[in-house]
Structure 1
Amino acid sequence: MYFSMAGNGVIYDRYGPLPLIMGGTFLHVFGLMMASLSSAYYQFILSQSICSALGASALFTAATSPVGSWFLKRRALAFGIVASGSSLGGVLLPVIVTRMLPNAGFPWAMRTCAFLFLFLLVPACITVRARTPPQPRGFALAPLYRPLVHEPAFRLNALGLLFFSWGMFVPFNFLPLEAEHRGMRPELANYMISVLNAASIFGRIVPGYLGDKVGRFNVMVVTTLFSAVFVLALWLPSPQGNNAATVAFAVVFGVSSGTFVGMTPALVQTLSPVDEIGARMGATFALMSGAVLTGNPIAGALVERDGGGFAYLKMFCGCAMAVGSGLLVAARVKLGGWGWKRV
């Protein structure tokens, strides 16, 4: 999903969001429908991991890239509001699927999600447009690699986002398992992701508003640092059987990590000319894709190395995010220096 955004970004810069949102709607819904019919492992890879993910990638590019062309002074807030929609979905979908699996079965749980997405995406196909008209022109790779090679602030920002995402998605995958490992009832553990995403709604909108007031990089640096601290100082030392600590971590990490999701497009577009927004967004997310792909497998291997414990996983998660936050500090200093400044 992340890697294909490089191609989607180039398509957006040349033809606008319409072909991406139309094609993405078909691929995402069709992939989930095919997942509902799948039984073999390779079929799930083809339907959900590839077809549906390519569609979701195109939809993400089509939904976020036009925002920067419509908003300037309140760009971070606009991105936060747009990104809060995925948090709301992250609250509802785990509940829908968890409740439907034992009653309706896996196939109809997937089909219900696919029909829901189709119902929501049809109005988006009709309404989503960019402010500036598309500029059809020949395909060129330069907008994808040039800012990474020749613009230090853009490069530091992209590397910071890469390292942070290396650790950030680990709690989304392992928090319910870790909660059960420490004695939480499975019924409650399954709702930890919904709790995290509910808190993320707040974390995507309010920091976006603050970012427009005091500086987007300033807010991003503080919230990414808090995320690393929450993992290392709250999640790592939480005692066995303490459900309150797990729920508290889900809430505070949801707020801080939500800022990362909502603010990332705003940072990239702050460093990008309007006619290269899609390509630069795509280059950044394609670079992050390596971290997103490997973070959870590394965490799983660390659980095995720890004899089924989660301490090594938490240390990897927190340290990766701390390195990412440090690189974002470097990007912020490159743009605005060490003194206080709205950056």
Structure 2
Amino acid sequence: MLSALRNINAFGVYQDYYTRYSLSNKTPSDISWIGSFQLCMQYAPGILVGRAFDAGYFHYMIALGSLLQVASIFMISLAQRHQYYQVFLAQAVAAGIGQSLLFLPSLSIIPQHFKRNRAFATGIGVSGASLGGVVWPIVLNQLSKRTSFENAVRATGAIAGVLLIIANLAMKTKPHPTGTTVLKPKLKVILTDWAFMSSIAGSVLPSPCRYVRLLNCHVERSLWDLVFFSLLTIMNAGSVGGRILPNFVADRVGPYNMMIPCLAISSALIFSIFGLKTCAGVVIFAALYGFWSGSYVSLVPTLIVQSATHCGEHGTRMGVAFSLVSVSMLIGTPISGALLHSEAGNYVWYKAIVFCGVSFRSITRLGA
């Protein structure tokens, strides 16, 4: 399920095509809002989707979300040249809403089936998103070289459709034992839970992964052109292991005890960007950063579930967290642009690097 959703990880390929061809009448900043708003729409309805999940509408949501997801991909391929609103409606709005109906429920259902090794099971599930982040950009990029970009998009839509059909047939909710009383989530209690709210507060900060493009200021341009496309793939590949192995340890030492060192190491890696001078160093950084930052992403759902007072509020708590995170998904790129403002034609990179590293430190302090 999560692997099928990560077509959004190929947005760099989309943006390159939009900038060069279909939306060449728009600025790169205008085009980047498509990806930002798509991510925002994936998370913003979280509180509504979470409450629907707790109310028992899991299968209805993933069925509707699957239809929206596949339909939106095909509509992207039919968008007319220089028609920004068509692409925005199909990719930013429709695909984003479809993803919101799929992403949260697919995470919230895992704790229903696992208790003892819950973090490890969640890590395996979330690793599918990283795997999709490796596969989708490569598939879309290679297919677009062999046929038209529109046909390449349709092919990825067909693949996503098949994977989502399998997911709809495979995923089942676990019924409550006969005679047990299912408690309903109380939103007021959740919002006034200081331990829960402080744990997710750090996630509202703009996503540090957006700063991966900073690396090009430290590497020769000729070499950077060779590694740029593969850099995000390497980072996502490293994230596959990072979303599984630390979660396995977290089941033994506790999610918080595992998350804090992962965040500290991620922060140290961000500051190490100042010392990167070679392509080899960039590749090693991408793999290590993908591993340790990926562990943070996969541990958050376990922390949210751990904070719940009963199983009937897993979805609502996850939804509250997702809705808060949507803020950073929407404003992350504009903040990046503000930090990277040009002075006499040269970008000021150190501000964004420091901000990113300090952000991780702040999350660590909140977790402690």
- Normalising TM by the smaller chain, what interval? 0.7 to 0.9
Q: How many residues align?
A: 316
What is the distance in 1 between the residues matched to 2:100 and 2:217? 29
**Corresponding residue of 1:12:** 53
Amino-acid identity (%)? 28
Q: How does 1:1-343 map to 2 (within 5 A)?
A: 1-38=42-79, 39=81, 40-132=83-175, 143-149=186-192, 151-163=193-205, 166-171=206-211, 174=213, 182-232=221-271, 234-239=272-277, 242-272=278-308, 273-305=310-342, 307-329=346-368
Query: Which letter maps to 2:273?
Result: W
**Corresponding residue of 1:336:** none
What is the distance in 2 between the residues matched to 1:22 and 1:221? 37
What is the distance in 2 between the residues matched to 1:37 and 1:103? 19
Deviation at 1:224, TM superposition (A): 1.3
Deviation at 1:62, TM superposition (A): 2.0
What per-residue deviation string (whole Å, max 9, x for no partner) do you get for residues 66-114 of structure 1? 1111111111000000011111111111111222233323212211211
What is the distance in 2 between the residues matched to 1:22 and 1:176? 40
What is the distance in 2 between the residues matched to 1:31 and 1:259? 30
What is the distance in 1 between the residues matched to 2:168 and 2:218? 40
Deviation at 1:269, TM superposition (A): 0.4
- Which stretch of the first structure deviates more once superposed, 101-110 or 280-289? 101-110
What is the distance in 1 between the residues matched to 2:48 and 2:262? 30
Change (3 A) 1:55 1:231: same
TM-score by length of 2: 0.81
What is the distance in 2 between the residues matched to 1:188 and 1:132? 49
Partner SS, residue 223 of structure 2: coil
**Corresponding residue of 2:37:** none
Q: CA RMSD in A?
A: 2.1
**Maintained 8 Å contact 1:175/1:192:** no
- Return 5+ residue gaps in structure 1 as ranges: 135-139, 330-343
Query: Which letter maps to 2:245?
Result: V
Deviation at 1:177, TM superposition (A): 6.0
- Return 5+ residue gaps in structure 2 as ranges: 1-41, 178-183
What is the distance in 1 between the residues matched to 2:216 and 2:312? 44
**Corresponding residue of 2:8:** none
Query: Which letter maps to 2:124?
Result: I
